[in-house]
Structure 1
């Protein structure tokens, strides 16, 4: 038995591998099993190392774990709630929006380093606890770009989480709960999820070989096309992936009783960073489909496909698989996009108009909140390394650290504390000049 450590998901046990060992299926300590690339993990031996309690106390271990993550500009997922400052109004606004039945699309804007990614993680954390299925996607220019809908879908599958009866479930466990539910017959009209249900029940009855179950899961996860109907890996397959996501979000609410499915997109400014016009058009088509689905636009259900185009929506459908962009409305799908302030410039390009009350611009934290951040980091550092600073030294420190970007501010404080720990006789001026 081999064990690995992942920078995001922590430690886990390797269960199997595929693609010649390029990807590993790992059962992580949070109870969720995921496919991860081999180069994303570090092997830690055949036995899971135990915490060296005799070397570091739990408090000191936690503090050092936090400091090392903050040093890279990341707050560990388990601690994101306790390390959120000065965003009470913004958080309450988003909480109110999550309670609304209508209006499933929301935009968060802010400059680079302003804390958008951290806020998304916080939203995801509290939404998970409040009964939402969640997933998080980082939009890229090449990898996970919107003109490749299957890549977005695969990120959603890998990052999927929900909580049922206090237990955190991943994508496969969630769908098993849906299929085993008394209301699972409601999936009968869904072209993909109903096929998944039929095939898994055949596995359970022994009509498929047990080894085929993995192929079935890989099919619905968009990893292979061993089965029909296909999940095409083309930029024109946006309707297929919107249709499946609608089935997932609808099942979360109507079958399992969750509040719905919240998908958070980070780095949304990359949406228009396509190399070619045809890529931009495919990305726009997918985004507009998601937008209309989250907004419960009835035209999606009434759309008539003329050749490959929707008569009412103008959306482009896949030539070979012309399922609708929507299966059932309301979709119970909500989407948050985080972008730089240039989002407003994109609305005309993307042909998407988001109501002003469904947008939120993150402003830099004021000095009072920045003081709370620095005090918390200094307190963590003290617990991690038994390093004490006088009040006058603390007051002087922040004057030397740029606060234009939150990420740089946090990393700057930690680097300064490192220098002070190694060269305690020197002043801040000498260390940080």
Structure 2
């Protein structure tokens, strides 16, 4: 199937043009950046788009055209629109040929906050519309987390304590909550908190196809592609930048690549030695990076290219076998130690959608549990009982331990949707107190704050929309609170979508006021209750 990356396409569902920036599943799904004013970046099935040769050209970034350095945007939305969490971090993207230079990471338009009032209004409108379109799906973009986060004060304190423990050695947290309760949003909150505390952060969204927990290499590859270093934006250098910094420090290199001192990491050791030796060979360096980042490479070809070729320092296979969990947890804990030695607080690993373990066979679920146990052992280290990893499979010809030397300064956060009456998803935890539920309901004050925040963001895109008055906000909050209690609204995602729908009605329909919207929502909530009582 011919690749469509870079093609201009017409998307019938949205009646607009866009540009294909990535593809997955052998090209059957395309990652399309839609043109303004929609501006979404979304996965679409190939039949949903039509390649066009005479469509409008892709819009250029005014900031890039002017050459001016982007200024800091308003505090409400702090960072530039970036790839959706997890998935665009790299899982499923078409792999480049072995000798092709690394392409820049997928990115959104540069962050801009123009000085000119008219241009600033247009910029705010573009960003606001992107956020509003995401909210229609009940999704809060990562760059708008602080502007739209409510009701997580207790959880923030808990997450802050976890980060403090990770800085001292390691921590583990499992977020367990029903669908739509804000688990992914909570991971985004932790992502931002960790970066603020000088942690390097990586995230992967587990699924049933390309990022299964029983295939640890796929999970590791997604983590590496999403790696974010404090001070860098979505276009940062990630692992490449960390390796470049590491080889400049003899102390760091000696910590991973000196056998005589008992400091030899089976993967990072040869990587650091060869990273130094290949400083003048860009193609060889890129090939080495593909290997250490979990891409498919011809290992014999790579061994012939590298600078260090002694038998004792040979490159080992990073295969895709389900039995190699120990290889990748050992590598992740080694990366955590690497970033610690480079002066950062540590590494925080975020794994979402862990409930996909239920879709695996008994044998494959056991492989996934081995992977999770290895991560927990890397994070908690000596505090675990000796028998914790008992029975965990160490595959491969060379028995690689599950964790590099403690303390790793590794923070692990896993989000999952529990099944009623089942705790199999967290059977690998040494202590069930590490499981944290999220508040499925908010009180009147928190719901009022949520309404105000969604309204303020909406009016970035559509400034002429009148805001709801205090009485209307209170009526809406009470209706939503009652709806969440009765089950009329199943989760907070539906509440956010309903607020956006109400804003659409007030903006686009004559005769619709906030009072009428509040009446309709209250009637919608009270109807099922009256039916049950009768």
Structure 1 partner of 2:138: 73
SS in 1 for 2:230: strand
The reply on whether 1:325 has 2:412 as its aligned counterpart is no
> How many Å apart are 1:77 and its aligned residue?
1.8
The reply on whether 1:198 has 2:273 as its aligned counterpart is yes
Change over 3 Å in CA distance of 1:389–1:162 after alignment to 2: closer
Change over 3 Å in CA distance of 1:76–1:186 after alignment to 2: same
CA distance in 2, matches of 1:74, 1:24: 31
Write the deviation string for residues 362-411 of structure 1: whole angstroms up to 9, x where unpaired.
11221210111111112222332111145255555553775431111111
CA distance in 2, matches of 1:97, 1:268: 20
C-alpha contact 1:239 1:325 (8 A) present in aligned 2: yes
Change over 3 Å in CA distance of 1:82–1:256 after alignment to 2: same
Matches within 5 A, 1:49-198: 54=119, 56-100=121-165, 101=168, 104-163=171-230, 169-183=237-251, 184-188=253-257, 189-198=264-273
> How many Å apart are 1:282 and its aligned residue?
0.9
Structure 1 partner of 2:15: none
C-alpha contact 2:339 2:345 (8 A) present in aligned 1: yes
C-alpha contact 2:131 2:140 (8 A) present in aligned 1: yes
The reply on whether 1:269 has 2:355 as its aligned counterpart is yes
Matches within 5 A, 1:212-227: 212-227=284-299
CA distance in 2, matches of 1:88, 1:283: 32
Write the deviation string for residues 161-202 of structure 1: whole angstroms up to 9, x where unpaired.
121599955122122222222322211111111111122222
Which stretches of structure 1, 4 residues or longer, exceed 6 Å deviation after superposition?
20-24, 48-52, 430-433
TM-score by length of 2: 0.66
C-alpha contact 2:82 2:143 (8 A) present in aligned 1: no
CA distance in 2, matches of 1:249, 1:388: 49
Candidates 18, 27, 44, aligned match of 2:96? 18
SS in 2 for 1:296: helix
C-alpha contact 1:266 1:338 (8 A) present in aligned 2: yes
The reply on whether 1:353 has 2:430 as its aligned counterpart is yes
The reply on whether 1:289 has 2:289 as its aligned counterpart is no
RMSD of aligned alpha carbons? 3.7
CA distance in 2, matches of 1:22, 1:348: 40
C-alpha contact 2:201 2:228 (8 A) present in aligned 1: yes
CA distance in 2, matches of 1:361, 1:127: 20
- Which structure 2 residue ranges, 5 or more long, are not aligned? 1-5, 7-18, 22-32, 34-40, 43-80, 85-93, 258-263, 300-314, 525-534
CA distance in 1, matches of 2:141, 2:232: 24
CA distance in 2, matches of 1:352, 1:28: 35
C-alpha contact 2:381 2:406 (8 A) present in aligned 1: yes
TM-score by length of 1: 0.81
Structure 2 partner of 1:362: 438
Structure 2 partner of 1:36: none
Write the deviation string for residues 34-91 of structure 1: whole angstroms up to 9, x where unpaired.
xxxxxxxxxx9xxx99999659433333322321221222222222122211211110
Change over 3 Å in CA distance of 1:407–1:129 after alignment to 2: same
Candidates 490, 501, 506, aligned match of 1:420? 506
The reply on whether 1:379 has 2:456 as its aligned counterpart is yes
- Which structure 1 residue ranges, 5 or more long, are not aligned? 31-43, 304-309
> How many Å apart are 1:117 and its aligned residue?
0.9
> How many Å apart are 1:352 and its aligned residue?
3.0
CA distance in 2, matches of 1:56, 1:404: 36
C-alpha contact 2:325 2:402 (8 A) present in aligned 1: yes
CA distance in 2, matches of 1:170, 1:289: 23
> How many Å apart are 1:293 and its aligned residue?
1.6
C-alpha contact 1:105 1:295 (8 A) present in aligned 2: yes
| Paired residues, number | 399
> How many Å apart are 1:415 and its aligned residue?
1.7
SS in 2 for 1:180: coil
For the pair shown, the structure with the greater C-alpha radius of gyration is: 2
Change over 3 Å in CA distance of 1:344–1:359 after alignment to 2: farther
Candidates 197, 210, 215, aligned match of 2:282? 210
C-alpha contact 2:465 2:506 (8 A) present in aligned 1: no
Candidates 313, 317, 325, aligned match of 1:230? 317
Change over 3 Å in CA distance of 1:128–1:54 after alignment to 2: closer
C-alpha contact 2:351 2:414 (8 A) present in aligned 1: yes
Change over 3 Å in CA distance of 1:323–1:390 after alignment to 2: closer
SS in 2 for 1:211: helix
SS in 1 for 2:175: strand
C-alpha contact 2:162 2:172 (8 A) present in aligned 1: no
